[in-house]
Homo-oligomer: A and B are copies of this chain.
């Protein structure tokens, strides 16, 4: 079975995060993309998202490792919801499994771009109650 474009794109993003290649990483986001840094704190737009990933890399002592352990893609013509089991590990923390939710939009010129990146999934609801 051939792999979905979005699987390959998310793999590319994970590799870019793990290699701290933030210029490649930021190409995957739309201009007005939203990245959830933690509950109640979002980065909006490419500049803020790039700075957030730089800060996250430092926080994890440049040992962050992100991988997907399962994925489900729901897709309409130009919008897709990706539900993923995302494994996050680093030297200074044990492996954490997150139930991530990503929304992608198909740009006519650039193809799929990430518009909403919420690696916490429904945990955002738990932390707010």
Contact = CB atoms under 8 A, between A and B. Distances in A.
A75 B125 CA distance: 15
21 contacts: A32-B77, A33-B76, A34-B75, A42-B74, A70-B125, A70-B128, A72-B128, A76-B115, A76-B116, A79-B103, A79-B115, A80-B116, A81-B116, A81-B118, A84-B125, A85-B122, A85-B125, A99-B125, A101-B101, A103-B103, A121-B121
A71 B122 CA distance: 9
Given A72-B124, A83-B101, 11 more contacts: A30-B76, A32-B77, A34-B74, A42-B74, A71-B125, A72-B122, A72-B125, A72-B128, A79-B103, A83-B121, A85-B122
Interface residues of A, number: 33
9 cross-chain pairs, A with B, having the tightest CB-CB distances, nearest first: A99-B122, A81-B116, A72-B124, A32-B76, A76-B115, A32-B77, A70-B125, A79-B115, A81-B103
